[in-house]
Amino acid sequence: MKKEGKKTFSEIWDIIDVSVFILVIYSLLELIFSISSYINNLFPSWILSYAIAIFAFGLIGYKAVKQKDEPKEIAKYGAYAGLIAGLAGAIIAIITFYVFPERFVETIQAAVQAGADAATVQTFIKIGLYASLIISPAINAAIGALIAWISGLIFKKK
């Protein structure tokens, strides 16, 4: 229960840095190696994605409790980490579309087989990717705040 002034970005970064790196590195591994396609052979890849997010944002709660921060502050730290990781993930997705367009061929072919125009589908994919620049950071910030807050409450009780 510290009663200090506002923390600087540097102090906040010390709490969220590892979590942001975990989330961004996972996004980069997905970009480079398409690890979800390999993981899907073992179990649904969304399970690993959720587990990584819970671990990364939970780590924020743990680190912040060690510094005796309040749950409200811990939630803010999770939101900051989610915002940064979401923005990085959206940028990585856009880069993937332009550098590795073959990853979207399956989606476009499935839409064409259903009767859609390939150029239209590609345009909608581009719109969705650029919209993710706003949506992804917002969703990740909300998820990060919630998980970090819950994690902070759990670790505070121990």
Residue 135 banded pLDDT, cuts 50, 70, 90: very high
Residues 6+ apart with CB under 8 A from 156: 65, 71
- The more confidently predicted of residues 110 and 146 is 146
The percentage of residues in the chain with a pLDDT greater than 90, rounded to a whole number, is 59
Best CA proximity match to 23, nearest among 149, 128, 136: 136
What distance in Å separates the CA atoms of residue 142 and residue 83, rounded to the nearest whole number? 9
Distance CA 108, CA 27 (A): 22
Banded pLDDT at 20 (limits 50, 70, 90): very high
Confidence band of 6 (pLDDT split at 50, 70, 90): confident
For tokens 């819970």, what's the residue?
A: 54
Q: Tokens in use for 93?
A: 């997705």
Please identify which residue in the block is written with the tokens 């060690």.
66
Q: What is the pLDDT of residue 77?
A: 96
Task: List Cβ neighbours of 27 (8 Å cut-off, separation of 6 or more).
Answer: 85, 88, 89, 92
Domain spans of the chain, in order of start: 9-157
pLDDT of residue 4: 58
Cα(95)–Cα(142) distance, integer angstroms: 24
Reported as a pLDDT band with limits 50, 70 and 90, residue 35 is confident
Q: pLDDT tens, 38-49?
A: 888 888 888 999
Is residue 13 very low, low, confident or very high in pLDDT (cuts 50, 70, 90)?
very high
Q: What is the pLDDT of residues 89-114, one digit of tens each?
A: 999 989 888 888 887 888 888 888 99
DSSP category for residue 6: P
Model pLDDT for residues 53-62, shown as the tens digit of each residue? 999 999 999 9
pTM: 0.85
